[in-house]
Structure 1
Amino acid sequence: MTLKITTNLGGTASHIVVGKVAHGLMTMTRAVAHSDEELFEAIKAGVDELPIGAKMVLNSAEFYGTPDNQLANLQMLSRFYEAHPDYVEKTFLMVKGGMHFEGFKFRADSSMEHLRKSIDNCNAALRGTKKVDVFQPARVDRSRPIEETIRNLVVLKEEGKFDHIGLSECKAETVRRAHAVHTISVVEIEVSIWSYEEETKKVIEATRELGIAVTGYAPLGRGFLTGQINSMDDIPANDFRRIMTRFKQYFDQNLASANAIRAIAEKKGVTPAQLAIAWVAQLGPHVLPLPGSSSKKRTLENLAGGDVALTEAEVAEVAEVVVKYPVQGDRYFGNDEAAGIWG
């Protein structure tokens, strides 16, 4: 299997051709322990399926580790690149940072001092194996104008600490203001059949107008839309999804929606995950679904979703499901404002 569909990134990275589906790495170093061999195969599998000349977008963060070692994800990547140096130029690395964490509580800090410390931590964890392609504040620092944040990022970019500037969890208005200061290459927001709010639509439209790529994280509804979750028993005891409202408070209501999506996928002859990814991909050539995976099998299944073409009738079927079974609960823990989204 060789993936057919590629696209270009945006802004200062618009010359870079990438696979239509990006690869989120968060689950690789969070709750469940995986061997380096398993993780490396999961990364390589996707890269190896791309057409010659296309890169795989890898999405990591300064905090995709454990409470004892938040840099574990980037450290894993440093070992990957050391073991497989020929994959350095075959991948495009996005890294989020600029946060203070205290347990589950966090706050954005886009001061020059903290952004410098953050990207330096990331580069130290990578140990010179790979340069950060896109650096992005994980949340918008609402204590300062977005223009100040971007000016700080420009200084660090010009110092050679990373190549392109990105944003995450931001409003369309924020994207426009930021882009007016310096070209933005990628914006990361949650996009799925279940997360397609009015602001999501506005961000996708604004980025289209401005020539910016969008990476849509959680396209599988945090696993709910894969058809693999049928009860709370299917979610590990220490999994953070257990405290998310869509799982904890509204499981049965949302399962009805997931089952309806699964029925559409079965009729088409694809997996529910591939249908969900294809739905995000059809939102625009600049929109890249960003599912996460830590196994070769799941990576290949996810990436194949980018080659699935949905008919107008199938898109309409999904829309009917959304109307009949509207998702219940917000995207996080009962207070999305506290989660720092839409900054």
Structure 2
Amino acid sequence: MVSRTVKLGGTASDITVAPVAHGLMAMTWTPNPPDEEQCFASIKAGVDALPSGTKAFLNSGEFYAMDHGTGNLELLSRFYAKYPEYADKTFLSVKGGIRNMAPDGSIECLRASVDNIQRALGPNKKLDLFEPARIDRKTPIETIMNNLVTLLKEGKFSHIGLSECNANTLRKAHAVYPVTAAEIEVSFWSYDDNQQALISTARELNVSVLAYSPLGRGYFTGAFKSPNDLPAGDPRSRFTRFKEENFKANYAIVEGVSAIAEKKGVTPSQLCIAWVSSLGPHMIPLPGSSKASRTLENLQGGDIVLTPEESKAINDILAANPVAGDRYFGADVDVHLWG
């Protein structure tokens, strides 16, 4: 059983959720999807480990499949059809608003996206929070927010989130309508000026920060000793930080934090999650999992408290080992970050 809980921000400030969210992408956006019943067990385990009245925060995407279709949402539809009592025990966030592989903040695109999401989800679960997956730089954020508020008032979803926004954009958006959560990448190798500014601004505004990839897409678990350990066709093989030269250059961070985790008696994954949680009471680490055992391990990381000495040791490791490689694939894709 998990003991710590957190309150969401914005218009969802009356909702209590687990201290660690559950990313569902790896259940379908992978060359060899896991067994569906295994995925269902993973979701159920996370819900069942929570105190009464606490919701599990689930995170999905309109395009979380190898064909960029709604496979992840269709899996969730089957889950809720089989376990309808879990609909009220989960808080579901879904990213969308992408057209022709680029963000589109128009009311037409956002409406089509939200309708497509709900159609794929089916009748047993309503979309709780909708996030444009990236910020459309061609459209003022105030216009995007007004479009989202229009859809919210039509009953399409209950709360508004943003993804990959910068601190200034969050402030402008929040002035139009309260933002419940901002989803950004935060981990030992993704904690620079942009992350720090967004985290600080979100805390000031009472906005939750969904910190995705807190385990560095599995890198900091120590499960991979080289890029060759990735499964054939794994999307991570395209990331610059998983290229041979960067992989080796960054491995000193893995070794350093693994030693701290071993001394503390926790797993490297749990140390990653505890460190992200330590960045503020509004922080919600968002690791992915398709196994019940991994879901529970991640949740337990949310209960772990770092001592000042442990935090300093981690910060010293990060300061001594500058990160090699881009967050994604290079400038052609990274242009959509920090909108």
TM-score range, shorter chain: over 0.9
Query: Does the 8 A contact of 1:74 with 1:126 survive in 2?
Result: yes
Name which of 188, 192, 196 aligns with 1:197: 192
Q: CA deviation at 1:339?
A: 4.6
Instruction: Provide, for residues 164-194 of structure 1, a one-character-per-residue CA deviation record: whole Å limited to 9, x for no partner.
Output: 0100000000000001111111110001121
Matched, 1:96 2:99: no
State the match for 1:306 in structure 2. 302
State the match for 1:112 in structure 2. 107
DSSP 3-state at the match of 2:124: coil
Cα separation, 2, equivalents of 1:339 and 1:237: 27
Cα separation, 1, equivalents of 2:260 and 2:26: 27
Cα separation, 1, equivalents of 2:185 and 2:314: 18
Query: Does the 8 A contact of 2:132 with 2:163 survive in 1?
Result: yes
State the match for 2:24 in structure 1. 25
The one-letter code of the counterpart of 2:44 is: K
Cα separation, 1, equivalents of 2:323 and 2:219: 11
Matched, 1:257 2:253: yes
DSSP 3-state at the match of 1:304: helix
Q: How many residues align?
A: 337
Instruction: Provide, for residues 204-226 of structure 1, a one-character-per-residue CA deviation record: whole Å limited to 9, x for no partner.
Output: 11111111111000000111111
How is 1:1-343 mapped onto 2 (pairs within 5 angstroms)? 2-31=1-30, 32-67=32-67, 70-101=69-100, 106-248=101-243, 249-335=245-331, 338-343=334-339
Q: CA deviation at 1:255?
A: 1.4
The one-letter code of the counterpart of 1:171 is: N
DSSP 3-state at the match of 1:250: helix
Q: For structure 1, which segment, 178-187 or 28-37, has the greater mean C-alpha deviation from structure 2 after superposition? A: 28-37
Q: CA deviation at 1:327?
A: 1.5
The one-letter code of the counterpart of 1:63 is: F
Q: CA deviation at 1:28?
A: 0.3
Could you state the TM-score of these two structures normalised by the residue count of structure 2?
A: 0.97
The one-letter code of the counterpart of 2:285 is: P
Cα separation, 1, equivalents of 2:241 and 2:61: 24
Query: Does the 8 A contact of 1:274 with 1:301 survive in 2?
Result: yes
Query: Does the 8 A contact of 2:327 with 2:334 survive in 1?
Result: no
Q: List alignment gaps of at least 5 residues for structure 1.
A: none
Query: Does the 8 A contact of 2:328 with 2:334 survive in 1?
Result: no
Cα separation, 2, equivalents of 1:336 and 1:115: 24
Query: Does the 8 A contact of 1:257 with 1:326 survive in 2?
Result: no
DSSP 3-state at the match of 1:92: strand
Cα separation, 2, equivalents of 1:294 and 1:234: 19
Cα separation, 1, equivalents of 2:323 and 2:260: 17
Cα separation, 2, equivalents of 1:40 and 1:221: 24
Query: Does the 8 A contact of 2:99 with 2:109 survive in 1?
Result: no
Q: CA deviation at 1:259?
A: 1.3
Cα separation, 2, equivalents of 1:230 and 1:255: 8
Q: CA deviation at 1:233?
A: 2.0
The one-letter code of the counterpart of 1:260 is: G
The one-letter code of the counterpart of 2:141 is: I
Cα separation, 2, equivalents of 1:327 and 1:185: 31
Cα separation, 1, equivalents of 2:66 and 2:114: 19
Cα separation, 1, equivalents of 2:156 and 2:195: 30
DSSP 3-state at the match of 2:42: helix
The one-letter code of the counterpart of 2:195 is: T
The one-letter code of the counterpart of 1:95 is: V
Cα separation, 2, equivalents of 1:16 and 1:43: 19
Q: CA deviation at 1:338?
A: 3.5
Cα separation, 2, equivalents of 1:152 and 1:317: 45
Q: For structure 1, which segment, 182-191 or 243-252, has the greater mean C-alpha deviation from structure 2 after superposition? A: 243-252
DSSP 3-state at the match of 1:136: strand
DSSP 3-state at the match of 2:182: strand
Q: CA deviation at 1:337?
A: 6.0
Q: List alignment gaps of at least 5 residues for structure 2.
A: none
Instruction: Provide, for residues 243-278 of structure 1, a one-character-per-residue CA deviation record: whole Å limited to 9, x for no partner.
Output: 211111411111121111111111111000000000
Could you state the TM-score of these two structures normalised by the residue count of structure 1?
A: 0.96
DSSP 3-state at the match of 2:323: coil
Cα separation, 2, equivalents of 1:339 and 1:127: 34
DSSP 3-state at the match of 2:302: helix
Q: For structure 1, which segment, 159-168 or 332-341, has the greater mean C-alpha deviation from structure 2 after superposition? A: 332-341
